[in-house]
């Protein structure tokens, strides 16, 4: 039963990635992934339709899946969509970053010698993010951890 759930979860994940990044794939990869994951055709059925080997279909799908995973790892667009579609520069995100900046500046004013060496660079990095460089939605949490450490 667990294997069936894992299989379905993988199918859904690839389908979701395909719908976000599919246009970035080659036409061949895009076609084969659409047929395999969205239309649920077997490798043999796809190979027969396109008059190529089953192995060629498998390789195209495998490379396409790898490309989709790499796009998500780099761009995080599916993660953004799953988190309500809020862009990185949304007011809520900016507010959180501003709060972190204010806490860091307060620590500097209070005069902790140990933190005084680290905080200016962290403040500059956060200000850079606010000015449009951007990062994945969870990035503010790692900055908060650094500030507290």
Indicate if the pLDDT at residue 147 is higher than 50: no
State how far the Cα of 88 lies from the Cα of 95, in Å rounded to an integer: 11
8 A C-beta contact, residue 56 and residue 47: yes
% of the chain with per-residue pLDDT over 70 = 58
Mean of pLDDT values over 94-103: 68
Task: Give the pLDDT confidence of 9-24 residue by residue, as tens digits.
Answer: 999 999 999 988 899 9
The tokens for 106 are 């307060």
Task: Give the pLDDT confidence of 60-71 residue by residue, as tens digits.
Answer: 999 999 999 998
> What confidence tier does 55 reach under pLDDT thresholds 50, 70, 90?
very high
Helix (H) or strand (E) holding 79: helix 77-82
The tokens for 57 are 């279909």
Which domains are present in the chain?
2-82 (1.10.10.10), 91-148 (no CATH)
| Residue 149 confidence (pLDDT) | 41
Q: 95 vs 56, which has greater pLDDT?
A: 56
Q: What are the Cα distances from residue 3, in Å, to 10, 11, 66, 82?
A: 10, 12, 21, 24
């Amino acid at each position: 039963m667990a294997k069936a759930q894992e299989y379905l979860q993988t199918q859904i994940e690839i389908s979701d990635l395909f719908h976000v990044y599919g246009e970035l794939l080659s036409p061949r990869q895009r076609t084969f992934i659409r047929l395999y994951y969205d239309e649920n055709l077997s490798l043999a059925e796809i190979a027969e339709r396109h008059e190529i080997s089953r192995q060629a279909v498998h390789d195209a799908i495998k490379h396409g899946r790898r490309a989709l995973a790499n796009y998500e790892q780099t761009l995080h667009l599916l993660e953004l969509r799953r988190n309500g579609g809020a862009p990185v520069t949304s007011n809520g995100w900016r507010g959180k970053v501003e709060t972190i900046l204010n806490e860091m500046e307060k620590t500097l004013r209070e005069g902790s010698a140990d933190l005084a060496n680290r905080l200016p660079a962290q403040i500059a990095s956060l200000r850079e993010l606010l000015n449009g460089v951007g990062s994945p939605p969870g990035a503010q949490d790692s900055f908060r951890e650094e500030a507290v450490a």
